Amino acid sequence: MATAPQTPTPAKTALMLMDYQDYILENYLSPDQAQGAVGAAGRLLAYARAQAVPIIHIMVAFEAGYPSVSPNNVMFAAIKREKMGLLGQPGTAITQALAPRPGETVVVKNRVGAFTGTNLAMILRAQNINTLVMGGVITSGVVMSTLRQAFDLDYTPCLVGPACGDATAETNQVLLGCVPSWLADVVDIEGGLARLA
C-alpha cells in the first residue's frame, strides 16, 4: 500500500545552553564571569520558553570510576583526580537558575565538544533544527569547540557573547573577538533574543 508523501517540517531554531554546572561555574570562572553568564543565559532561557523555542541543555558528566576518561586527556584526568563531575553529585547538576524543565532535552557528554560521542546531531536532525543560538561556559572549552563542530556539520550557529564566560573577562572578550564572521555571528543579548523570536 502506497503512503502519501510527507510534508517536510520547516527548519527551525533551538536554544543550546552548555555546561552551566555548579562545579564548572565555581572552579573555572571568576565570580563576575559566572554571574554574568548565568544571568544572560537565564534571559535567553525565559524567552525561549515563552516562545516555545526548542531548548537543549548540554552538560559534561561522568559515570562512577570515570571509564571514559583517558590519562592522556589532561583536562578530564584532572577532573577525575579531583573526583568532580560524577553523575548524581549535587555540583554536577545544571545550576538551579537554569535547571531543565520536563520536556527540555538534556545531552550528557564526556568530552569538550557537545557533538563528540553524543546523540546531539541525531536530536537536531529529528527536530529539523538547523540554527543554534548558543551560550555556555567556558568559552575556551565547550563554546569554541562546539561552535566549530556545529559549523562543520552545516548548522548555522549564533553565539550570544554575554551568555559566555571564561576564567577572566579579558580572556572571554579576546576569544569572542577572534570568532570570524564566516564561522558565526557573535551577538549581544538583544541580538540573541531576536534570533529566538
41 pLDDT exceeds 80? yes
120 pLDDT exceeds 70? yes
Number of domains in the chain: 1
| Rounded Cα–Cα distance for residues 23 and 27 (Å) | 6
Q: How confident is the model over 179-192, as pLDDT tens digits?
A: 999 999 999 999 99
Whether 5 is in a domain gets the answer: no
- Confidence at residue 20, expressed as pLDDT on a 0 to 100 scale: 98
CATH number of the domain residue 108 falls in: 3.40.50.850
Distance set, CA 2 to CA 5, 8, 115 (Å)? 9, 18, 37
Sequence-distant (6+) residues with CB within 8 A of 151 are 157, 183, 184
Whether 115 is in a domain gets the answer: yes
- Confidence at residue 12, expressed as pLDDT on a 0 to 100 scale: 93
Whether 150 is in a domain gets the answer: yes
Whether 124 is in a domain gets the answer: yes
Q: Work out the end-to-end distance of the chain between its first and last CA atoms, rounded to an integer number of angstroms.
A: 41
Whether 181 is in a domain gets the answer: yes
The residue ranking higher by pLDDT, 6 or 131, is 131
Q: Which of 87, 91, 76 shows the shortest CA–CA distance to 22?
A: 91
Whether 3 is in a domain gets the answer: no
8 pLDDT exceeds 60? no
| Rounded Cα–Cα distance for residues 50 and 158 (Å) | 20
Q: pTM of the predicted model, to two decimals?
A: 0.92
Q: How confident is the model over 138-156, as pLDDT tens digits?
A: 999 999 999 999 999 999 9
| Rounded Cα–Cα distance for residues 20 and 34 (Å) | 9
Give the structural domain span for 85. 12-196
Whether 131 is in a domain gets the answer: yes
Whether 6 is in a domain gets the answer: no
